[in-house]
Amino acid sequence: MDQKYYVLLTKVGQGRLSEVISAEINSIMSYILLGDGGEDEGKETNPTEDDTALKRSRAKLPINRVYQHEKKKIK
């Protein structure tokens, strides 16, 4: 299976995260939403940073660990 799944922070999310960082506010991201293609019978979608909602929300899961991928370091 060649499907690749990933997390995408939208422009709205990037803005909110930037505000929290610049204001030096301690903020906790407590959950992540997962979705699929919705009415398209769950087909893969191509999300973009401009999206404002999932096609169809399938799960709301607690975040239990956050780490930086060792091969994809943020510089």
Domain boundaries, the chain: 11-62
Show Cβ contacts of residue 8 under 8 Å, excluding neighbours closer than 6 positions.
47, 48, 49, 51
CB 12 within 8 A of CB 52: yes
Write down the pLDDT at residue 1.
47
Alpha carbon dihedral 44, 38, 41, 45, in 10-degree steps, equals -10
pTM: 0.59
pLDDT tens track for 10-59: 898 888 888 888 888 776 778 888 887 777 676 777 888 998 888 888 89
